[in-house]
Amino acid sequence: MEHLIEQFEEIGYSKNEAKVYIALLKEPAINGYEISKKSGVPRSMVYAVIAKLVAKEAIIELRTEPPTYTPVAVKELVMNRRRQTEDTLTSLEKELQGIEKPVEVNVIKHIEGRKKIINAMQKLMLAAKEEIWLSAWEEELDELRTPALEQGEKGIKLYSMLFTNQETDSFGETFYHRRDTAVIEESRMSKRLTIVIQDNQEVLIGGFVNGQIPQAIQTTEPMLVLLAKEYIRHDMMMKVVSDKVGGDMLNSLWQGDDLLTYIVRNVKK
């Protein structure tokens, strides 16, 4: 008996409601006084319990004098309760979805191996709808040229910082690190840092090191996208400044200053 009462409680009935319903299953069409005696629910409480069961469509009140009660058939009780539960859950789901704020999770994907990284860069470039920002080295340019040309023909804007002496029309608005300055960059970072940004929405940052397996990350995390774009923009502006004032003049700003030498070249004296 106790386990039946516990199961009733699990579907939303109280212990006393379960006792009354089970008593009526054993002997239907009895009045409140008799229900109290057979269920063990005190007379002071039994009529309130009966009223709740009638409201829940678990028992039926018969128009007799005094009123008597009979249980809804077990199969009907289960069907009614299942329907009521489904209706409640459907309504609850709708109401909660109306106030739910989706959680944005910006996963950082790790990629290993040159082929996989290049393929991911090509896909990211081809996914752009408005613009691409690129920082790439001579060793990777041939593999990125085709998606750059395809997107350029579609009117997608490309802004590129290229580490090469060979000028090209394949990568949109282009700025160049010649080999003399590229060597400094590669030495400072200990790798060829290559970046692709798609529509200010997603970034892939790869590091190519001769003799080692390349590593990369790809993410839609806004702060990392912004950081990568600012890195490229800063690099472009430094090349503009260098071209305007001359390399010797620019170098004179930091040469002889240990702190600035460390900042620029990552070399401590």
Model confidence band, residue 191 (pLDDT cutoffs 50, 70, 90): confident
Average pLDDT rounded to a whole number, residues 176-195: 79
Contact 267, 261 (CB under 8 A): yes
Q: Which domains are present in the chain? A: 2-99 (1.10.10.10), 108-265 (3.30.870.10)
108 or 186: which leads in pLDDT: 108
Q: Check pLDDT > 70 for residue 250.
A: no
Q: Quote the crossing angle between the two packed helices 114-126 and 138-153, to the nearest 10°.
A: 20
Encoded tokens for 186: 């590669």
Model confidence band, residue 80 (pLDDT cutoffs 50, 70, 90): confident
d(CA 63, CA 55): 16
What's the pLDDT score for residue 185? 72
Q: Check pLDDT > 80 for residue 254.
A: no
pTM of the model: 0.59
Q: Check pLDDT > 90 for residue 188.
A: no
Q: What number of other Cβ atoms are within 10 A of residue 224's Cβ?
A: 18
Average pLDDT rounded to a whole number, residues 67-71: 95
Question: 20-24, 206-210, 229-233, 254-258 — which is least confidently predicted?
Answer: 254-258
In the chain, the amino acid numbered 244 is K
What is the tens place of the pLDDT at every residue in 130-154? 999 999 999 999 999 999 999 999 9
d(CA 207, CA 216): 6
Model confidence band, residue 101 (pLDDT cutoffs 50, 70, 90): confident
What's the pLDDT score for residue 107? 86
Model confidence band, residue 64 (pLDDT cutoffs 50, 70, 90): very high
Average pLDDT rounded to a whole number, residues 186-213: 90
What's the pLDDT score for residue 269? 62
What's the pLDDT score for residue 259? 82
Sign of torsion, CA 164 167 168 171?
positive
Model confidence band, residue 265 (pLDDT cutoffs 50, 70, 90): low
CA dist list (Å): 252 to 13, 240, 246, 247: 85, 16, 10, 8
